[in-house]
């Protein structure tokens, strides 16, 4: 756990803030350092007087907020004073920005030798791609991911959520956690850089490795697994879809018995895992015919009784309402600071004995004064100077600014 570690989170929008929230879920105190106008994500619709942006809320739980103008010398100085007492800094600026603003590892390490600096970039930090824009859809396209997503022979399809941004955030949080472990052991910090492009390439795992070892280039195959059969989705008589993944001979035989076709297990075309892959089209036709004769619930009851690996394809609304989501604490009711009905939010996937309960995301700049006074030791005169220069947003100025 990361209790006692202070992370200054300068990231914005999605991937970087997701990394910061993961670190908060691991127990760190995460301070969201925003420009005085706030993170753009605060304004992503739908937003109203009664509702903060769901986009912003989804990746900023459990954080505190400091609003600073890092382009102003006084704002940079205030940030550096926070760095002296922090353990890590994370950001997602274009590759030339950190050095220009004095946020690069060399500058921050001179202030605090044990600081860990985590940088999330789009493509590269040098060469022709250093300044190129890198949005999630582009990353899914460039990494090869879209070529293996969707139906065989169909139009390339993006993954249904921003997997490139979020995977980059996962890698960033993991790298920063490793850097914190090193700093604790040695007293010397680390620079960790994660490229969204690199992260997506890394997640190709066996598809890429198979090709690198002389296999064919992977292609989209719908829900079907390229190396395991059967492993696909099948339509039931009431129009629902069931995912079946009876990997291994024991599960395969259980499936054949469950659908009333025990002879399939002895059929030479399907007798071995390799044979099932080689004859997957015929196998799909046989299974689709059988599954199409009963309703989804009838099949789920049958498969559960025989321990056949199967699941109903759920909508997001159904998944959030599933009893498992409740029993695992993956949907929580979180109180809003301004009162009113609690907001249902996603829970913490890390299940530690004393895992932190993260509160509602912060209003813009709500902790600026407390943290500059507490961490940086600022007094009234220094705070007044920052206020007069317009480089911070604090207290009453931040009230109601979560949107």
Angle at 99 between CA 97 and CA 103, to 5 degrees: 90
Whether 340 shows a pLDDT value over 90: the answer reads no
Tell me: the pLDDT tens digits for 256-281?
A: 999 999 999 999 999 999 999 999 99
pLDDT exceeds cutoff 60 at 320:
yes
pLDDT digits (tens, 9 = 90+) for 105-155: 999 999 999 999 999 999 999 999 998 999 999 999 999 999 999 999 999
Task: Give the Cα separation of 259 and 288 in Å (integer).
Answer: 11
Catalytic positions:
225
| pLDDT at position 49 | 83
Separation of alpha carbons 170 and 241, rounded Å = 30
- Among left, alpha and beta (phi > 0; psi -120 to 50; other), residue 380 is alpha
- Domains of the chain, start order: 6-203+325-398 (3.40.50.10540), 232-313 (3.30.1540.10)
Stated pTM of the model:
0.94
Closest Cα to residue 388, out of 102, 72, 101, 80? 72
| Percent above pLDDT 70 for the chain | 98
């Amino acid at each position: 756990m990361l209790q006692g570690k202070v992370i200054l989170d300068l990231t914005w929008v999605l991937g970087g803030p997701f990394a910061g929230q993961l670190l908060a879920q691991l127990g760190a105190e995460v301070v969201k350092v925003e420009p005085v106008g706030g993170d753009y994500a605060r304004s992503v619709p739908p937003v109203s007087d009664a509702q903060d942006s769901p986009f912003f809320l989804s990746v900023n739980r459990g954080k505190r907020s400091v609003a600073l103008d890092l382009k102003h010398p006084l704002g940079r100085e205030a940030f550096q004073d926070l760095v002296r007492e922090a353990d890590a800094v994370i950001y997602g600026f274009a590759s030339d920005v950190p050095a220009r603003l004095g946020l690069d590892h060399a500058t921050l390490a001179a202030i605090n030798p044990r600081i860990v600096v985590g940088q999330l970039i789009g493509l590269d930090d040098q060469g022709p791609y250093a300044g190129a824009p890198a949005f999630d859809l582009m990353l899914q396209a460039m990494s090869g991911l879209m070529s293996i997503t969707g139906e065989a022979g169909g139009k390339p399809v993006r993954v249904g959520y921003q997997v490139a941004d979020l995977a980059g955030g996962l890698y960033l949080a993991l790298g920063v956690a490793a850097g914190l472990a090193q700093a604790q052991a040695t007293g010397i910090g680390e620079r960790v850089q994660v490229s969204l492009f690199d992260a997506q390439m890394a997640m190709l795992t066996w598809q890429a490795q198979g090709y690198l070892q002389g296999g064919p280039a992977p292609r989209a195959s719908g829900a079907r697994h390229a190396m395991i059969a059967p492993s696909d989705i099948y339509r039931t008589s009431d129009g629902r879809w069931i995912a079946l993944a009876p990997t291994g001979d024991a599960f395969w035989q259980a499936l054949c018995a469950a659908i009333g076709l025990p002879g399939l297990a002895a059929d030479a075309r399907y007798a071995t895992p390799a044979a099932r892959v080689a004859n997957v089209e015929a196998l799909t036709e046989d299974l689709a015919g059988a599954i199409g004769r009963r309703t989804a619930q009838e099949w789920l009851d049958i498969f559960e009784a025989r321990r056949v690996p199967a699941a109903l394809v759920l909508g997001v609304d159904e998944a959030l309402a599933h009893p498992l989501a409740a029993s695992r604490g993956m949907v929580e009711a979180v109180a809003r600071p301004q009162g009113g009905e609690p907001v249902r939010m996603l829970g913490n996937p890390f299940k530690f004995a004393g895992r932190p309960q993260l509160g509602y995301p912060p209003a813009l700049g709500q902790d600026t004064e407390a943290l500059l006074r507490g961490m940086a030791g600022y007094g009234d005169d220094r705070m007044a100077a920052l206020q007069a220069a317009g480089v911070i947003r604090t207290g009453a100025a931040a009230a109601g600014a979560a949107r």
